[in-house]
Amino acid sequence: MDCTNARTWLAFRKPGELPADELAALTAHLTACAACAAAVAGADAFDAAVGRAMTAVPVPTGLRDRLLKQAAARARTTALRKLGQAAGIAATVLVALGIVYGVFVTLRPTFHVDDLTVREDAVRDDPERAVRDWLLAANLPTDLPLDLDFRNHVFHGTERVQDRDVPVVMFQIHRPGQRPDVAKLYLVRRAQFNLGQLKDSQSSFFSGKVVRPSESQPGVVYVVLYTTESLTPFQNPPRPQL
């Protein structure tokens, strides 16, 4: 090892900083080179003097306590500042939520019992017209494929079928001492279902009949479920021929 390399490695003489072979080479060079050994001695003497001077400086009375108090005060200030920021963010969020809730409350329709009673009066007074108006509002054909007797009408609206809301018109016939007979007319939109395999069906209580629409109603197929032997009881009686 030459002097240039030795002077470079002098700063790494602490234990564990140099590989064993490099430390051995440096030690051998310092033993043989008086100039490098003198440089090492001077550096060590300077470090020792600085160390003694630092330890000779008296520590002011109460310095440790003051430093701890200052650190604690800075920590409280930082915590209060972060708490204030968090409170400001929370207040902003609460204000935003309040605005959203206010808009939500404002946009909600007001429930009027008067509207409900007037609507039900209209249905009771003329159920056939009420059903026609409802079908028209839903963009559905207003002419039903069966001449149904609306004096037996009990409900019109939507029913959940296979995760789809399907329009339905329901009729009932009450018989003394027996369960009411039911007929439910579903308006099945082709846009909602695959109707390629649609066919009549029969179960223990209900019969299912598929009624194909006319050419003027291409978007809808009618399915009627009923508990009677036929649909005749739910239809208007034949008009007398003049």
- For residue 16, the model assigns a pLDDT of 64
Task: Calculate helix-pair angle for 113-125, 127-137, nearest 10 degrees.
Answer: 120
- pLDDT-derived band at 54, boundaries 50, 70, 90: low
Integer distance in angstroms from the first to the last C-alpha of the chain? 134
What stretch of H or E contains 95? helix 63-107
CA dist., res. 196 & res. 221, Å (int): 11
165-191 average pLDDT score: 94
Residue 138 pLDDT exceeds 70: yes
Residue 17 pLDDT > 70: no
Give the residue carrying structure tokens 């579903």: 186
Closest CA to 224 of 149, 140, 144: 144
Mean pLDDT of 201-230: 88
Q: How far apart are CA 40 and CA 31, in angstroms?
A: 11
Structure tokens at 23: 């430390």
Going 110 to 111 to 114 to 118, the CA torsion angle's sign is positive
> How big is the chain by its Cα radius of gyration, in Å?
48
d(CA 8, CA 124): 106
pLDDT of residue 52: 74
The pLDDT score that the predictor gives to residue 115 is 83
Q: How confident is the model at residue 13 (pLDDT cuts 50, 70, 90)?
A: low
Q: What is the pLDDT of residue 154?
A: 94
Q: Which of 26-40, 41-55, 151-165 has the lowest mean pLDDT?
A: 41-55
- Please write the tens of the pLDDT for every residue from 78-118: 888 888 888 888 888 888 888 877 777 677 888 888 888 88
pTM higher than 0.85? no
Compute the average pLDDT of residues 215-226.
85
Which one, of 165, 135, 141, lies nearest residue 218 by Cα?
Answer: 141
Mean pLDDT of the region 137-147: 91
Please tell me the least confidently modeled range out of 61-75, 170-184, 199-213: 61-75
Instruction: State the pLDDT at residue 67.
Output: 76
* pLDDT at res. 57: 64
Residue with the larger pLDDT of the pair 34 and 168: 168
Check residue 203 and give its pLDDT: 93
